[in-house]
Structure 1
Amino acid sequence: MVDKNNMNMINEQLFEFMTKIYNEIQEGFKQVNLKIDGVENEAKKTNTKIEHEVISKLDALFDGHKQNSDKLDRIEEEVSKHEEIILRRIK
């Protein structure tokens, strides 16, 4: 049988062990939270960079594409006019 003093000592040791484990877990949570905060900050920086740099460049590319498309339409229209003139002369 376990006497009362031994039981108290076992309970104290168990309590100390549980306290140690709890503190280690809390410290682990703090480290995880710090890493998560770091990842969130990096994500915010990346989003800001995308918003300011990439999106403005994409807008410029689309504007350039639109200008080229408009020029091609005008050239096509002029070529069509010249084709009509040439075809009239041939007939």
Structure 2
Amino acid sequence: MEDKAFELITQMYSEMKQQFEDMNKQFEDMNKQFKEVNRKLDQKADKTDIVRLENELNPKVQALFDGYKQHTDILERIENEVTRQEEIIMRRIK
């Protein structure tokens, strides 16, 4: 039973790790987009364009950050559970 729980937790950990990698790629893509927008703004910066971009991007960035924070919290819980399961297994082995 504990082996199945450990395998499930390990699988969940792998999936979460993959999701973090995907999110990091999304952040990298967003950084590239920000750099491109900044390059264009440097060419022709209009205050109304800057305000519009900030208003459009702030909610998106906040949503990404919230998702990243939720994934981090879940990963921490999984890591704690894996550690607890490992301790239980080590106690039974000894």
TM-score when scaled to structure 2? 0.49
Gaps of at least 5 residues in structure 1 are: 1-38
**Aligned match of 1:70:** 73
Deviant stretches of 4+, over 6 Å: none
Secondary structure of 1:47's aligned partner = helix
Across the two proteins, how many residue pairs are aligned to each other?
51
Secondary structure of 2:61's aligned partner = helix
Q: Distance in 2 between matches of 1:81 and 1:48?
A: 49
Q: Could you give the per-residue CA deviations for residues 4-49 of structure 1, whole angstroms, max 9, x where no partner exists?
A: xxxxxxxxxxxxxxxxxxxxxxxxxxxxxxxxxxx6xx72332222
Query: Greater relative contact order: 1 or 2 (C-alpha under 8 angstroms, separation 6 or more)?
Result: 2
TM-score when scaled to structure 1? 0.50
**Aligned match of 1:50:** 53
Cα drift, residue 53 of structure 1: 1.1
Gaps of at least 5 residues in structure 2 are: 1-43
| Sequence identity (%) | 51
Rg larger for = 1
